[in-house]
Structure 1
Amino acid sequence: MKRLLLLLFALILSIALVACNESSSTTDSKKEDKPETEEKEDKKEEKKEEKKLGLGDTAEVDGVKMTIKSVSTTDERNEFAETDPATVIKIEYEVENTTDDEIPIGMDLSVYDGTGNKMESYPLDNTMGSLAPGKKIQGTEHFGIEEGPIEVHFLPAVSFSDAAIFELEIE
């Protein structure tokens, strides 16, 4: 009886090993068709293409929708500001809260100028507050920059997802 059980166990084990070997050879043949580095590069290119947003495009991150309406320069300055940037831009946008919770507004944009440097928010009439579920708000944010074009990264303050990226020229 013990021999029969041992033989049965060996048979099941060998079938399992053959099945495992076939599945790994199938994935190995797929890898041979396309090198791993090419697969990674293709995925990166797809993500970049998906994330290229422009003026008037709408991005949705975790139930919060953002549409950038305009980007323009302004001559307005804050005499009490700690910085004196060469150019101050005004970003006008719309945010829609499609979640079931109230969300904070005013800390969800990061701006990078044409040199790739992260720019600081400039203290003018910037929108701050909260937005109730199912509601929209027209907002404004100002940034001091060195040169354009700019990249605007939108990520709601309550989100752990990847930011939506807008590539924008300054009007």
Structure 2
Amino acid sequence: MREKPKWWYRTLAAIPYLLPLHATWTVAESVFRLSPFLEEFEFFADSFNWYVASFPPWFWMAYSMAIYLGIVRQRRWPHFLRFHVATAVLLENLLEVASIVGGWLPATVFRGKAGLHFWTATAVAYLFTVLECVRCALAGMYADVPFVGDAAYMQCDYF
């Protein structure tokens, strides 16, 4: 990238990170150790979380496929925007896979003390990762998330 993208592309690149942020907030809310911290921001997030939770369950699969096929695989959009959209979708899918696999664990592990520490660490790591990706998108930079960034580069052609 030779020059900083226009401000509207930077803003559009930050919008898809709202869904991983919602998923992170949901995981963090279920971990009671983060409740006092999250209560400070509850005024801002409650209306958005309520709105996102009101969508039907099939909507998220349709949304992911639509933005993947409509933005990431279309070369008419700038590479910067396509990269950040692909990164947001991959972060969302990674957290969903962790939630599904975590549900397969025995209840003593998943809901016990080990599970509490795991989901606390996951929520904090995801919160800071998603916020760093939003910061990079608004600053006009590529987010360098290990493994996820490489997968996003593979999805976006350079042409």
- Using the size of structure 2 for normalisation, the TM-score is 0.23
The higher-RCO structure (CA 8 Å, 6+ apart) is 2
Structure number with greater Rg is 1
